[in-house]
Amino acid sequence: MYAGFLAVLLLYLVSIFLGWEFYYFLFLFCAIVFTVSLVRFEVGFLFVLLTLANPYLLKETGTHLHLSELVLIIIFVVFLGRVFILREKIDFPREFLVPATILILISVISLAVARYYLAGIQQLVRYVEILLAFFAVVLYTSRTERNVYRMFIALIIGGGIASIVGISQFVTNAIELRQTTRVFGWLGGGYGALIASTFILSLCALWYMRGTALKILAFVTLPVSSVALLLSQTRAWIGALLFVLFFMMLMERPGARRKILLIAGAAIGLLIVLWQTDLFGLLHNDFLAGAMQGAFRFGQSQQEHSLNDFSLFLRFNAWLKAVELFVTHPILGIGVGNVRFSSYITLKLGMPGEGVGYVDNQYLQVFAEAGAIAGIAWILYVYRAVRAGIKGVRSSTDPRLHGLAAAFLGCLLIYAVGSCFWVISPEHESFAFMILYAGLSINVCRLVHSHELKEGSQGIK
């Protein structure tokens, strides 16, 4: 033990001498993730959830690699080792394997018509990595209620940290730039989806779960995530959250609806406190008012309204262009990973690495890139995941399982609905989160079924 400590200390001193402190800590972090995953894989997987929520860009390495991608690589290596050495079975349900495989195969074939092969291959790697490898790991690690509960808590913690990061960015920009800016944490455009999901998880923790520590965590995270979501000013994800809250209330009994309204009221109350105290004195609430106007489009000048209307017009035109691309290339599209506009005004297709944006609709993006069969396969994949989530919510009688099923279904719907106004597959973390919630919804549905069978057998006895 002492020898190991001295070795670590010596390595640290050498790294200081050579100016490699960052690489020392990065290596130490990776070693910890690898060791924990090797000993207790389900616990090691929690590092994935925390880093996906806060995907720090490893600029010091001279690459565009995110810390979350590095952790995923480590997890995949350990997972494959366990599968091949320990001969553990990969339980991949056919109803998801088939559409995922079809989407990938059609995307491979679409490379024949692609203008940019590198962009197509990059998207293919992402499909294989997330739809197959990551999905298999999610199913593997969430086979027991205990592991699912751990992941539930880790997701709230990760989202809470991401919320604080976003608020800190907003405050810093307001103080330094003296203006209201949109914030995206370390995630980019998918930040709003993460924060909206954190809101749903925290709400369900207060709504269904027991345990004082968890309720305190959720009670603190709920208003913080609310503020962060408003500061992101991303109407696609704010609208998706409102839709999901309405949907969840319709699915629940009248008593549960009153409870969710009470919790939502408490969250709004805390939000008002934060507003009226100027984020506890951090900055003037004029900046918060600017963010609120950007998020909900009230109190804006005629010029600001015109700019927002023009933005909506550009998005609508981008959708029409995607439909046009699909109609003219219905079989294979124009090539996976190749739909990227160089200008939203001219809608001219540019090089994927230099383009300014996507179609802003995940479903149309798949149809335009890879054709009808791939687009239908993607819709089928999402539909089956949502169906499994609804089945888990409706079938569960155990309060904790019911809460987990409702939470993961709500988060999945955030991404499924928000994808009508955003493209997530090119964004590594957002794509992974959507598939994560699909896998968790499926396994919670399985746990609900096994729990009912167990209760039924006990009743017969």
Residues 165-176 pLDDT 10s = 988 888 887 777
Q: Which amino acid is at 212?
A: T
Instruction: Give yes or no for residue 233 having a pLDDT over 90.
Output: no
The pLDDT mean for the chain works out to 83
421 in Cβ contact with 210 (< 8 Å): no
Q: Which two tokens stand for residue 57?
A: 């860009």
**219-233, 306-320, 349-363, 430-444: which range is least confident on average?**
306-320
Residue 349 β-bridge partners: 341
Residues in CB range of 324: below 8 A, 6 or more apart: none
Q: If you ran DSSP here, which 8-state letter would residue 66 be given?
A: B
Q: Which two tokens stand for residue 426?
A: 């090119």
What mean pLDDT do residues 221-230 have? 88
Instruction: Give yes or no for residue 156 having a pLDDT over 80.
Output: yes
Instruction: Give yes or no for residue 455 having a pLDDT over 60.
Output: no
pLDDT band at 23 (very low <50, low <70, confident <90, very high): confident
Instruction: Give yes or no for residue 310 having a pLDDT over 90.
Output: no
Nearest 10 degrees: CA dihedral of 105, 109, 114, 118?
Answer: 50
Task: Please indicate, yes or no, whether residues 137 and 194 belong to a single structural domain of this protein.
Answer: no
Task: Please indicate, yes or no, whether residues 451 and 318 belong to a single structural domain of this protein.
Answer: yes
Task: Please indicate, yes or no, whether residues 439 and 333 belong to a single structural domain of this protein.
Answer: yes
Backbone φ, ψ for residue 57 (5° rounding): -80, 120
Instruction: Please count the residues of the chain.
Output: 461
Task: Please indicate, yes or no, whether residues 376 and 447 belong to a single structural domain of this protein.
Answer: yes
184 in Cβ contact with 166 (< 8 Å): yes
pLDDT tens for 55-77 read 888 877 777 788 899 999 999 99
pLDDT band at 150 (very low <50, low <70, confident <90, very high): very high
Write 252-256 long-range contacts (CB < 8 A, 24+).
252/406, 256/207
Residues in CB range of 163: below 8 A, 6 or more apart: 185, 195, 198, 221, 224, 225, 227, 228
Number of other residues whose CB lies within 10 A of the CB of residue 425: 23
**128-142, 353-367, 383-397, 412-426: which range is least confident on average?**
353-367
Task: Please indicate, yes or no, whether residues 337 and 249 belong to a single structural domain of this protein.
Answer: no
Task: Please indicate, yes or no, whether residues 83 and 118 belong to a single structural domain of this protein.
Answer: no
Q: If you ran DSSP here, which 8-state letter would residue 183 be given?
A: -
Task: Please indicate, yes or no, whether residues 240 and 372 belong to a single structural domain of this protein.
Answer: no
**58-67, 120-129, 223-232, 279-288: which range is least confident on average?**
279-288
Residue that the structure tokens 């894989």 belong to: 41
Whole-number pLDDT of residue 260: 64
Quickly list DSSP for 77-89. HHHHHHHHHS---
How far is residue 447 CA from its own chain's centroid? 23
pLDDT tens for 199-214 read 999 999 988 888 889 9
- 3-state class of 184 per DSSP? coil
Whole-number pLDDT of residue 245: 87
Q: Which of 297, 326, 348 is the last residue of a domain?
A: 297
Expressed as residue numbers, the domain containing 441 is: 93-141+304-461
Whole-number pLDDT of residue 418: 94
Task: Please indicate, yes or no, whether residues 264 and 214 belong to a single structural domain of this protein.
Answer: yes
What mean pLDDT do residues 222-233 have? 86
Q: Which of 71, 89, 107 is the last residue of a domain?
A: 89
How far is residue 54 CA from its own chain's centroid? 11
State percent of the chain over pLDDT 90: 48
What mean pLDDT do residues 295-305 have? 52
Q: Which of 262, 297, 332 is the last residue of a domain?
A: 297
Instruction: Give yes or no for residue 335 having a pLDDT over 60.
Output: yes
Work out how many domains the chain is built from and give that number: 3
pLDDT tens for 252-267 read 766 666 666 666 666 6
Q: If you ran DSSP here, which 8-state letter would residue 360 be given?
A: S
Please report, for the chain, how many H helices and E strands are present, in that order: 19, 0
Task: Please indicate, yes or no, whether residues 308 and 394 belong to a single structural domain of this protein.
Answer: yes
Whole-number pLDDT of residue 10: 57
Distance, CA of 167 to CA of 183 (rounded, Å): 8
Task: Please indicate, yes or no, whether residues 264 and 383 belong to a single structural domain of this protein.
Answer: no
Task: Please indicate, yes or no, whether residues 331 and 425 belong to a single structural domain of this protein.
Answer: yes
pLDDT tens for 73-90 read 999 999 998 888 877 777
Whole-number pLDDT of residue 1: 44
Q: Which two tokens stand for residue 308?
A: 């927002």
pLDDT band at 456 (very low <50, low <70, confident <90, very high): very low
Task: Please indicate, yes or no, whether residues 76 and 136 belong to a single structural domain of this protein.
Answer: no
Distance, CA of 375 to CA of 103 (rounded, Å): 8
